[in-house]
């Protein structure tokens, strides 16, 4: 109370006190929290505990089982591919020209005149005739007689069968090509002034050639190469 008898208000004092005390109290509250955070962040991360011997043994067993299963699976695959290769090789060994069809085509051009260098039904020379006839069944022969002999698989006269190639020789050189028709007969285009005809083989030195299996069934040859490559990859794969 003042000397004049009036009461002095305490509001100015209270507001001033708040202005002083609030910052102090905030600092007191924040300091422990910040200190606690610093301590938590500086704590090192826990190290993972090593596997127990039982866990290590379980992992080793699992990996060993996987390896054994992989090896068994590869062995089965290799066995299956080996069998397929055997089947394809057997097919290639025993494949034959369709002789009946071939000789029917050969006979169709009976009477076509001989023409030097001829490769069409307008006129054939000897190797032009053989090349044209085999082409009708999907087999591509080289152009001249010696090349056809070199390209074919040489066989003996006693092993010759219809559909094989037959050649007249001088020395070891093939100068004439024909299609063997069986029973000592051939289809050929003989020489100028003659025409395609079927005749009995006379006094000629002969050679015989068989069409390679790869030329008859190129798809089988491609399949054989594919299987052999696949088998080689499996054989070289790790984990044997």
pLDDT, one tens digit for every residue, the chain (240 residues) = 444 445 544 444 455 555 555 555 555 454 454 444 545 555 666 665 555 666 776 777 766 666 666 777 888 889 999 999 998 888 887 888 999 999 999 999 999 999 999 999 999 999 999 999 999 999 999 999 999 999 999 999 999 999 999 999 999 999 999 999 999 999 999 999 999 999 999 999 999 999 998 898 887 888 889 999 999 998 887 654
- CA nearest 146: which of 123, 163, 169? 169
Query: CATH number of 99-212: 3.30.70.1350, 1.25.40.10, 3.90.1720.10, 3.80.10.10?
Result: 3.90.1720.10
* 176 labelled catalytic: yes
* 51 labelled catalytic: no
| pLDDT of 171 | 95
Token pair of 83 as six digits: 């069998």
Alpha carbons 109 and 113: distance in angstroms, whole number: 9
| pLDDT of 116 | 97
Cα 210–121–125 angle (5° rounding)? 55
Widest distance between CA atoms in the chain: 167
Provide the residue ranges of all domains of the chain, joining segments of one domain with +.
64-95+217-240, 99-212
Q: Which of 51, 126, 191, 204 is catalytic?
A: 126
Q: Which of 51, 90, 188, 191 is catalytic?
A: 188
DSSP letter at 158? G
* Tens-digit pLDDT profile for residues 65-108: 666 667 778 888 899 999 999 988 888 878 889 999 999 999 99
Alpha carbons 168 and 202: distance in angstroms, whole number: 10
| pLDDT of 62 | 67
Q: Regarding beta strands 197-200 and 165-170, do their DSSP bridges make them parallel or antiparallel, or are they unpaired?
A: unpaired
| pLDDT of 4 | 47
Alpha carbons 81 and 86: distance in angstroms, whole number: 9
Alpha carbons 159 and 162: distance in angstroms, whole number: 10
* 191 labelled catalytic: no
Quick check: 176 and 229 in contact, CB under 8 A?
no
| pLDDT of 2 | 47
**Number of residues in the chain:** 240
- CA nearest 171: which of 202, 144, 145, 207? 207
Sign of torsion, CA 48 52 58 60?
positive
């Amino acid at each position: 109370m003042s000397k004049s008898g009036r009461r002095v208000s305490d509001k100015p004092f209270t507001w001033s006190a708040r202005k002083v005390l609030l910052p102090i109290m905030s600092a007191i509250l924040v300091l422990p929290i910040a200190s606690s955070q610093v301590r938590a962040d500086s704590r090192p991360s826990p190290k993972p505990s090593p596997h127990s011997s039982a866990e290590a043994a379980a992992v080793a067993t699992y990996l060993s089982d996987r390896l054994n299963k992989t090896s068994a699976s590869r062995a089965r695959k290799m066995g299956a591919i080996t069998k397929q290769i055997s089947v394809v090789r057997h097919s290639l060994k025993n494949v034959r020209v369709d002789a009946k069809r071939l000789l029917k085509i050969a006979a169709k051009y009976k009477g076509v005149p001989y023409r030097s260098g001829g490769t069409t039904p307008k006129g054939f020379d000897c190797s032009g005739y053989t090349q044209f006839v085999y082409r009708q069944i999907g087999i591509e022969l080289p152009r001249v007689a010696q090349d056809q002999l070199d390209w074919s698989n040489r066989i003996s006269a006693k092993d010759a069968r219809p559909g094989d190639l037959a050649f007249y020789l001088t020395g070891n050189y093939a100068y004439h090509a024909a299609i063997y028709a069986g029973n000592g007969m051939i289809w050929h285009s003989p020489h100028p002034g003659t025409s395609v005809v079927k005749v009995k083989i006379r006094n000629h030195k002969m050679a015989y050639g068989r069409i390679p299996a790869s030329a008859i069934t190129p798809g089988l040859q491609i399949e054989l190469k594919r299987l052999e490559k696949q088998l080689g990859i499996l054989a070289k794969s790790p984990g044997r």
